[in-house]
Homo-oligomer: A and B are copies of this chain.
Amino acid sequence: MRQKIGILGATGMVGQRFVQLLEHHPWFEVAWLAASDRSSGKLYGDAVKWRLGSALPEHIAQMPISPATPDDAPKIIFAALDADIARDLEPAFSAAGCAVISNSSAFRMHEDVPLVIPEVNADHLPILENQTWRKDSGGYIVTNPNCSAIGLVLVLKPLVDRFGVDSIFVSTMQAVSGAGYPGVASMDILGNVVPYIRNEEEKMQAETLRLLGARDGKVVRPLAAKMTAHCNRVAVEDGHTESVSVKLSRPATREDILDAWRHFTPLAGRDLPTAPAQPVEYIAPEDRPQPRLDKMRGGGMTASVGRLRPCTLLDWKFTLLSHNTIRGAAGAALLNAELLVSLGKLHPVPVPA
C-alpha cells in the first residue's frame, strides 16, 4: 500500500527526477502529474522532453497531465516549480490541505517555513506548525535548499557540531542541469566558464547559515558565522563541485575532521528509503571528488569530500561534490517527505487540534 502523491511541475528537469526516483519507491506512488497550461490535457509522454539516461516508465508516459489546481490532487505534493509560479501555487495547495514538499526557492527563507535537510536540521520542522495554512487546513509547506547549498551544509554540519565554524569561503563549479531545460545555451558553456548565476550567491549564503542555525521555539536563528560564496557555471552535466576553506572555533586535527565526517550518520535507524548509508563520504585519492566519478555515490544522495589539507588563510580547505538534481533537488525533497512520514507528520495530514 503506497501513498498516492502528485508532482507539480512534472515536465521540468526536477520533475523528471521526481518521476525517476519515485519509480520503484516503496512508500509513494505517482498518482497525479501537473504542469503548465500548455501541457495540461496531454499525456505526460507527449508533453515531456525527457532528458534522463534511464527510460521514461511506460505507465507514467501514459498518464494525463492535470491542471495545476488542488481540486483532484493527492494530499502529498512534490513541487518542482519556478519560484515565480511557486509563489502562487504552493500556498494554494497548502491552503487546500496538501503537504507541499517544495524544491522551490519561493518560501525557503519564510520565517514559518522549514528549510530542511533531514541529516542536518530535522529539528527545524516544528516551525511548520506556525503556518496559517497548517492551522486552517492541515496543509503546509516544507522546503529543501538550493542545489549548491545542500552539499556544503552536509559537509559542514559535522564540523559545526564538533568544532564550531566561524568563517566559510566557498567557490563553486556548478553543472548546467541546475538551470533547468533548455537553461544554459550551449554557445555559453561549451569550452567555457560563466562566472555568474543570478541570485545564487545570495541564496547559498543565506540558506547555508539558516540550515546550520538553531531553532529557538518558533523561530530559527541562523549560524553566527561569516560566509562568502563565488558561484560559477562549468561544462558539466550533473554534479556541483565546490572549493571550500573554513575557520573553526576550536582546533581540530586532520584526523578529527575525517572522524567527524565518518561518524556523521544522524538518520541511522530511521530506515528512510532514500537516505544514503553515508551522507558524507571522504574520497582519498588526491584528485577527487570529481563529478563524473563520484556524483552517483549513495544513489546520488551522498556528498563526497576530498583533498582535506591546511589552509594558509583560514584553518582547513577541501573540495566537495554533490549531485545537484538528486541530492540537490528531487532527492532532497523526497528525503524530506520520508522524514515527515517517519515523524508521523505526513500521512495522514491531520489538522492540529
Q: Which residues of A contact B (CB under 8 A)?
A: 13, 50-55, 167-169, 171, 173, 176-177, 181-196, 205, 226-228, 230, 232, 234-237, 241, 243, 245, 286-293, 295-297, 306-307, 311-314, 317, 319
B191–A237 touching, CB < 8 Å? yes
A319→B317 CA distance, assembly (Å): 20
A54: chain B residues at CB < 8 Å are: 296
A195–B53 touching, CB < 8 Å? no
A187–B181 touching, CB < 8 Å? yes
* Contacts known (A184-B186, A186-B183, A286-B196); A237 close to B171, Cβ less than 8 A: no
B176–A311 touching, CB < 8 Å? no
Select from chain B the residue with minimum beta-carbon distance to A13: B187
Select from chain B the residue with minimum beta-carbon distance to A229: B312
* Contacts known (A182-B185, A186-B176, A187-B51); A241 close to B245, Cβ less than 8 A: no
Select from chain B the residue with minimum beta-carbon distance to A225: B313
Q: Can you list 11 A-B contacts with CB-CB less than 8 angstroms, sorted by A residue number? A: A173-B234, A176-B187, A182-B182, A185-B186, A190-B191, A192-B236, A195-B287, A226-B313, A228-B311, A230-B243, A237-B292
Chain B nearest CB, measured from A317 CB (Å)? 6
A292–B195 touching, CB < 8 Å? no
A53→B227 CA distance, assembly (Å): 32
B313–A193 touching, CB < 8 Å? no
